[in-house]
């Protein structure tokens, strides 16, 4: 089956009119139950048919739904079949699907291409041969499933990862189901997610091609152990990065990691230097670690396009001196210009305007140290002055979000300390809530400006940042180092796109 034929069938797979789950069960300790429950819990509103030939289900229901003994007993033609049966039953299930004119499947079951024994390799080859001859494409085997919000009114999660994403514009392929689940939970706003597994039928390149052609996909994130078709991957990336960013994390870059990748999904991990060379040619954004992949993906959606100035001109605001010194170092290391206000137009005027609000001993330059002020409103006032000055492309500042979490983490050692913590909590409940609202409103008031927040609460998925994410505002949870790295890489991507457009 050629690539075009696969892409046509993938339209059905990602937006089926109905689905059947072969191996569905009401036994909560089995994956068949998790998969069936995931379909229901993620908001799929179309028809679902649980399939289980076990006689005990003849007069029983699964989660209130009638059970069918086989695919041919379903009352209508099935678009997509999820397969959660033992390995020795997978091939027969695929044959039954083909006999019933079903052409898309997701095989959750493991025990095929990743197993190096001769009999399992032969079974894998036969599976591919039968499916291809019958015009059927499938995800997996050895997959944790997939998610699609192509139909936002009926999003589909056919899998068993612990996740309940919300529909959005980020599309993910992960050759690890666990890593994919982490990405979906951290990013949330998902258009498509596929745990590609062994890629016996559909490969990472097929999903990438589909995402590239999907207008609602704004950012593509990839977790990759190895590629099956390097030349095709390069070709797709070359055409795609002009329109939308691709963020890529490579696993298996060491000898031990490459060996682990081969035993995990059966993929062959190539040299990292070769990958980096391809990325440089195609404009793919390379992430060094998982957290960086998450922030780069968020940043690609929230911050792009960045201003064309090279280097980027940064303004920094903080309540303490040590933080801004450290952040200034990080900016310079990553090619970001921390603007010297004494040497730029409007700079001296901005210094005088800020001086009206701060003590005489403030630094009178950028970075702006608020000298430990207790007036939380000053953050808003000074930030707005800096935004209006036209001296900066980006503003990097601290956020009040997470300070309440910091206070909660304090461990009083005596009664006085307990009273102090109680008082701090009462103050935080009022002041921080207002400060967070001000920070979000400031970003909404200046949508063309780039404000980046550094948060005290560590963790990219901390619930204290939920309101920021809803408004597509960038917060780095306790990690200024990554903020400057992400900015540099996104700016490099922006320059790549600008060169291509010239």
Q: How far is CA 361 from the centre of its chain?
A: 44
- In this prediction, residue 406 carries a pLDDT of 80
Residue 263 has a pLDDT of: 52
* Reduced 3-state DSSP string for 109-177: CCCCCCCCCHHHHHHHHHHHHHHHHCCCEEECCCCCEEEECCCCCCCEEEECCCCCCEEEEEEEEECCH
At 151-185, the pLDDT tens digits run 999 999 999 989 999 999 999 999 999 999 999 99
For the chain, how big is the Rg over CA atoms in Å? Answer: 26
Whether 267 has a pLDDT exceeding 70, the answer reads no
pLDDT of residue 111: 80
pLDDT at 261: 57
At the top level of CATH, which class does the domain 307-501 belong to?
alpha beta
Please tell me whether residue 81 adopts helix, strand or coil conformation. Answer: strand
CATH fold match for the domains 3-301 and 307-501: yes
pLDDT tens figures, 59-105: 889 988 999 999 999 999 999 999 999 999 999 999 999 999 999 99
Tokens in use for 369?
Answer: 């140290």
pLDDT at 268: 47
Confidence band (pLDDT; 50, 70, 90) for 27? confident
Has residue 265 got a pLDDT over 70?
Answer: no
Cβ 130 vs Cβ 95: under 8 Å: yes
Question: For residue 262, what pLDDT band results from cuts at 50, 70 and 90?
Answer: low
**pLDDT above 70 (res 259):** no
Name the pTM for this structure. 0.92
User: What is residue 312's predicted lDDT score, i.e. its pLDDT?
Assistant: 96
pLDDT of residue 133: 96
Which tokens hold the place of 319? 């309540």
Across the chain, which distance is largest between two alpha carbons, in Å? 84
Query: What rounded mean pLDDT belongs to the chain?
Result: 91
Tokens of 17: 């009119």
Whether 161 and 42 have beta carbons less than 8 Å apart is answered as no
Instruction: Read off the pLDDT of residues 94-147 as tens digits, 9 standing for 90 and up.
Output: 999 999 999 999 999 988 877 878 888 888 899 999 999 999 999 999 999 999
pLDDT at 430 over 80: no
Query: How many other C-beta atoms lie within 10 A of the C-beta of residue 41?
Result: 11
3-state secondary structure (DSSP) of residue 410: coil
Question: Could you please report the per-residue DSSP string of 205-267?
Answer: HHHHHHHHH-TT--EEEEEES--S-HHHHHHHHHHHTTTS-EEEEE---SHHHHHHHHHHTS-
Question: What confidence tens digit (pLDDT) does each residue in 347-369 have?
Answer: 999 999 999 999 998 989 999 98
pLDDT in tens, 274-290: 899 999 999 999 999 99
Instruction: Say if residues 99 and 72 touch (Cβ distance below 8 Å).
Output: yes
In CATH terms, the fold of domain 3-301 is Rossmann fold (3.40.50)
For residues 243 and 425, the model is more confident at 243
Confidence of residue 429 (pLDDT cuts 50, 70, 90): confident
Average pLDDT (314-321) is: 87
Mind spelling out the 3-state secondary structure of 310-321? CCCEEEEEECCH
Q: What is the pLDDT of residue 60?
A: 86
Where do the structural domains in the chain lie, given as residue ranges? 3-301, 307-501
User: How far out from the chain centre does Cα 22 lie?
Assistant: 29
- CA dist 211 → 184, 190, 193, 496 (Å): 16, 12, 10, 21
pLDDT at 107: 97
């Amino acid at each position: 089956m050629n690539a075009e034929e696969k892409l046509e069938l993938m339209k059905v797979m990602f937006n089926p009119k109905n689905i059947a789950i072969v191996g569905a069960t009401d036994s909560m300790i089995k994956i068949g139950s998790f998969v069936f429950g995931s379909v229901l819990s993620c908001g799929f509103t179309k028809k679902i048919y649980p399939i289980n030939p076990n006689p005990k289900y003849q007069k029983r229901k699964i989660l209130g739904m009638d059970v069918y003994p086989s695919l041919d007993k379903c009352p209508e033609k099935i678009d997509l079949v999820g397969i959660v049966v033992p390995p020795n039953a997978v091939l027969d299930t695929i044959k039954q699907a083909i006999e019933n004119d079903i052409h898309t499947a997701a095989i959750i079951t493991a025990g095929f291409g990743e197993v190096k024994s001769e009999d399992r390799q032969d079974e894998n080859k036969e599976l591919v041969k039968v499916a291809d001859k019958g015009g059927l494409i499938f995800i997996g085997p050895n997959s944790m499933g997939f998610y699609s919000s192509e139909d936002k009114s009926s999003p589909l999660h056919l899998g068993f990862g612990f996740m309940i994403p919300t529909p959005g514009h980020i599309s993910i392929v992960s050759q690890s189901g666990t890593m994919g689940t982490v990405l979906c939970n951290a990013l949330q706003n998902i258009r498509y997610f596929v745990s590609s597994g062994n890629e016996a039928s559909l490969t990472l390149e097929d999903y990438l091609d589909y995402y590239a052609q999907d207008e609602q996909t704004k950012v593509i994130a990839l977790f990759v152990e190895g590629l099956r078709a390097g030349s095709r991957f390069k070709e797709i990336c070359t055409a795609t990065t002009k329109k939308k960013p691709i963020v890529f994390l490579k696993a298996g870059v060491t000898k031990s990691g490459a060996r682990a990748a081969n035993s995990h999904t059966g993929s062959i991990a190539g040299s990292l230097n070769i990958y980096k060379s391809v990325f440089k040619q195609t404009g793919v954004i390379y992430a060094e670690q998982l957290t960086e992949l998450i922030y780069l993906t968020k940043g690609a959606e929230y911050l792009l396009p960045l201003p064309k100035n090279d280097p980027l001109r940064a303004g920094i605001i903080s309540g303490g001196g040590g933080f801004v010194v450290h952040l200034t170092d990080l900016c310079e290391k990553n090619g970001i210009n921390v603007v010297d206000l004494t040497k730029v137009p409007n700079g001296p005027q901005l210094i005088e305007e800020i001086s009206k609000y701060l003590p005489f001993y403030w630094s009178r330059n950028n970075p702006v140290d608020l000298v430990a002020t207790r007036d939380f409103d000053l953050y808003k006032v000074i930030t707005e002055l800096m935004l209006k000055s036209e001296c900066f492309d980006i503003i990097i500042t601290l956020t009040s979000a997470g300070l309440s979490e910091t206070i909660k983490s304090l461990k009083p050692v005596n009664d006085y300390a307990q009273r102090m913590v109680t008082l701090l909590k009462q103050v935080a409940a009022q002041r921080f809530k207002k400060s967070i609202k001000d920070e979000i409103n400031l970003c909404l008031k200046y949508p063309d400006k780039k404000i980046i927040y550094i948060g005290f609460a560590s963790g990219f998925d901390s619930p204290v940042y939920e309101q920021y994410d809803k408004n597509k505002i960038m917060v780095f949870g306790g990690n200024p180092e990554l903020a400057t790295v992400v900015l540099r890489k996104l700016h490099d991507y922006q320059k790549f796109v600008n060169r291509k457009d010239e």
